[in-house]
Structure 1
Amino acid sequence: MTPFRSATATALASVLLATTLTGCQFGGPEQDTSPIFIAADLELSGAAAGVGKAYRQALELKVDQLNSSGALGGRRIELLPKDNRSDASESLRNIADFTNDPRVSAIIMGGCNECAVGAVRTVNEKQMPTIALAAAGAVASPVADRRYVFKLAPNAADNAGALTVELRRRNIRTVGVLRSDDTYGREGAAALRGELSKAGIEVLAEASVRGTDTELDRQTDPLVAAEPEALVIWTPPEQALLAANAVRRAGFSGALFLDAAAAGDLFLGSSARAVERATLVFTQTMVIDDVIATTPAKAARRQWFQDYTARFGGYHGSSSFAADAVQLIADAELRAGGPAGQVNREALRDVLETSQLDGLSGPIRMTPDNHSGLMPQALTTLVARNGRWRLAS
Structure 2
Amino acid sequence: MATPAFDSSVLTRRGVLAAAAGSLLLAGCGQQGERPEEEPSASSAPSSQDLVVGASLELTGRGAALGVPQQRALEIGADALNRSGIPVGSLRRSIRLEIRDNRSSPREAARQAAELTRAGVQALVGGTLAETSVALAEAAQKVKTPFLSLGLGDGVVLPLAERTFSFQLTPDAVDVARRLADLVETQRLRRVALLAADGLHGDSGVRAVRAALRGSDADLVRTVRLPDTGRSFAGAAERIAAADPDGVIVWGAAPDSGVAARELRRADYRGPLFFDAGAVAEATLSAHNAAAVEGAYAVHPGCLSTSTLTATTRAELERRDFNYRYTQRYGTSNTFAPYASDALQLLAASARMATSLDRGRIRAFLQSQVAEGIAGGYAFTPTRHGGMESDSLAVYVVTQGAWRLYA
Mark yes or no: TM-score above 0.5.
yes
Structure 2 match to 1:134: 151
Q: Does 1:299 align with 2:317?
A: yes
- Given that 2:276 and 2:298 are in contact with CA atoms closer than 8 Å, whether structure 1 keeps it comes out as yes
Amino acid aligned to 1:385: T
Segments of 5+ residues of structure 2 without an aligned counterpart are 1-46
- Given that 2:273 and 2:296 are in contact with CA atoms closer than 8 Å, whether structure 1 keeps it comes out as yes
- Given that 1:182 and 1:210 are in contact with CA atoms closer than 8 Å, whether structure 2 keeps it comes out as no
Structure 2 match to 1:331: 349
Structure 1 match to 2:64: 49
More RCO (CA 8 Å, sep 6+)? 2
Structure 1 match to 2:274: 257
Q: What value does the CA root-mean-square deviation take over the aligned residues?
A: 1.8
Amino acid aligned to 2:121: V
Structure 2 match to 1:203: 220
Question: Which residue of 296, 314, 317 maps to 2:332?
Answer: 314
Q: Does 1:176 align with 2:193?
A: yes
Structure 2 match to 1:107: 124
Structure 1 match to 2:9: none
Shift of 1:266: 9.0
Q: Does 1:75 align with 2:90?
A: no
Greater Cα offset, 251-260 or 314-323: 314-323
Structure 2 match to 1:24: none
- Given that 2:227 and 2:233 are in contact with CA atoms closer than 8 Å, whether structure 1 keeps it comes out as no
CA offsets per residue over residues 319-360 of structure 1, 9 Å max, x none?
Answer: 41111001111111122124xxxx411100000000111100
Report the Cα distance in structure 2 between the residues aligned to 1:125 and 1:71, rounded to whole angstroms.
28
Query: What TM-score do the two structures reach when normalised by structure 2?
Result: 0.84
Q: Secondary structure at the match of 1:220?
A: helix
CA offsets per residue over residues 272-316 of structure 1, 9 Å max, x none?
Answer: 221111110011212324883242222221221121111111123
Larger radius of gyration: 1
- Given that 2:248 and 2:274 are in contact with CA atoms closer than 8 Å, whether structure 1 keeps it comes out as yes
Amino acid aligned to 2:138: R
Q: Does 1:122 align with 2:136?
A: no
Amino acid aligned to 2:201: Y
- Given that 2:248 and 2:272 are in contact with CA atoms closer than 8 Å, whether structure 1 keeps it comes out as yes
Report the Cα distance in structure 1 between the residues aligned to 2:344 and 2:378, rounded to whole angstroms.
13
- Give the % identical residues: 30
Q: Does 1:63 align with 2:78?
A: yes
- Given that 2:308 and 2:320 are in contact with CA atoms closer than 8 Å, whether structure 1 keeps it comes out as no
1:75-94 counterparts in 2 under 5 A?
75-94=93-112
Q: Secondary structure at the match of 2:92?
A: coil
Amino acid aligned to 1:63: A
CA offsets per residue over residues 89-122 of structure 1, 9 Å max, x none?
Answer: 1111111212222x21100012121112123332
Q: Does 1:39 align with 2:57?
A: no
- Given that 1:214 and 1:242 are in contact with CA atoms closer than 8 Å, whether structure 2 keeps it comes out as no
Report the Cα distance in structure 2 between the residues aligned to 1:67 and 1:112, rounded to whole angstroms.
28
Query: What TM-score do the two structures reach when normalised by structure 1?
Result: 0.87
Structure 2 match to 1:226: 243
- Given that 2:140 and 2:166 are in contact with CA atoms closer than 8 Å, whether structure 1 keeps it comes out as yes
Cα gap change, 1:319 to 1:165, in 2 (>3 Å): closer
Greater Cα offset, 260-269 or 131-140: 260-269
Amino acid aligned to 1:146: R
Structure 2 match to 1:145: 162
Please identify which structure carries the higher helix content: 1
